[in-house]
Structure 1
Amino acid sequence: MYRLLTSISAGELFKRQLPVFLVAFLIAELSYKFHSFALECVAFLATWFVLDGALHLLIGLRSQERFQR
């Protein structure tokens, strides 16, 4: 987490991570009811990771399509 916060600029952090964080938080809040804080926290972090990875892949594919044209 420390590396995440120190390796990218504040603008990029808010532009890229905040929307994905909020979507993952909303999914976790509405969907995950494990009755265990630890399990819900791990599920939230996994959701955030998967959503961020999917967004990163989608953005990468779009940029490759633009360069191929």
Structure 2
Amino acid sequence: MARLPAAKVVCIYGVEETDESGCTDKTAVGERMKLPGGHHFDENYPALAKRLIGEIETRQGKANVAEK
């Protein structure tokens, strides 16, 4: 993970898997997003999808501004 471009990385993990997640590793890059639940985020996939889409849209907006 340390080789990935930090500006393009959002590492999402469940609060119940903090100790096992690669997101909490000291070498992990990018933004960390801790969500309720474990590895399957309490199976609340619609909420997870909404958060992911929001993050993608935010980053696309930042990229579009940088290009201008």
- TM tier relative to shorter chain: 0.3 to 0.5
Question: Normalising by the residue count of structure 2, what TM-score does the alignment of the two structures yield?
Answer: 0.45
Q: Please state which structure has a larger fraction of its residues in helix.
A: 1
**Larger-gyration structure (1/2):** 1
TM-score (ref. length: structure 1): 0.45
Higher normalized strand content (fraction of residues) = 2
